[in-house]
Amino acid sequence: MLRIILIRHGQSEADILKVHEGRADFPLTEKGITQAEKMASFISKHFRPEILLSSPLKRAKKTAEILKEKVGCELLEIPELAEYNNGVLAGMDREVAAKKYPLPEGGRPIHIPIQEGESELEFRHRVERAFYEIIHDYCSLEEIAIVSHGGFISHFINVFLGISIDEKVIFPTGDTGVHMLEIKNGERRILFLNRQDHLR
């Protein structure tokens, strides 16, 4: 049996600046740090991850470091766990971006990337590769935790459930939202999604 705890980072500075984040590397706000501390206390009380895997972006890495202090296990930084590469939009004001790089009519096709970024299809393939590497490399463990980003986590759950990218199923995650997935006897189960009761 392998249980996978998926955790989104806490509030970042981009969340309050109204800019596109993606690969823009903004740190956590003070509120985000407090959220991460509450999440870490919740995880340490109810779960026992044997290893932590984190996106290298500041907001996720700091969240993971706060969790590591509570649970005491090894923390590995995995580049493939980074958020969607949104290229020229990273860090750009949303209103400015809408004028400078408007979406094509009907939306951007999934195989065409934004300038200097990756396409939605390339992003999905990266998440799929990360998923299968993780369940292969850590199959001998019982519980692992992954600290990443909303877009990555949504695709990860889609891959876990075998949902095609064409179906456009979104699994939203709030600040430090926690999901629990389980692989047991060849079956894949979702135990819960986007828990944030630690923030209340």
Cβ distance 81 to 6 under 8 Å?
no
Number of other residues whose CB lies within 10 A of the CB of residue 93? 14
Q: What token pair was written down for 30?
A: 């003070």
C-alpha 171/C-alpha 148 separation (Å) is 14
**Which stretches of the chain are assigned E, i.e. beta strand?**
2-8, 51-54, 74-77, 143-148, 178-184, 187-195
- Residue 21 identity (one-letter amino acid): E
Burial of 197: CB neighbours in 10 Å, binned 0-12, 13-18, 19+: exposed
122 labelled catalytic: no
Strands 143-148 vs 2-8: parallel, antiparallel or unpaired = parallel
Residue from 9, 20, 179, 198 carrying the catalytic annotation: 9
Instruction: Classify each residue of 128-152 as buried b or exposed e, where b means 16 or more C-beta atoms within 10 Å of its C-beta.
Output: eebbeebbeebeeeebbbbbbbbbb
Residue from 37, 83, 118, 143 carrying the catalytic annotation: 83
50 labelled catalytic: no
Give catalytic residues, as residue numbers.
9, 83
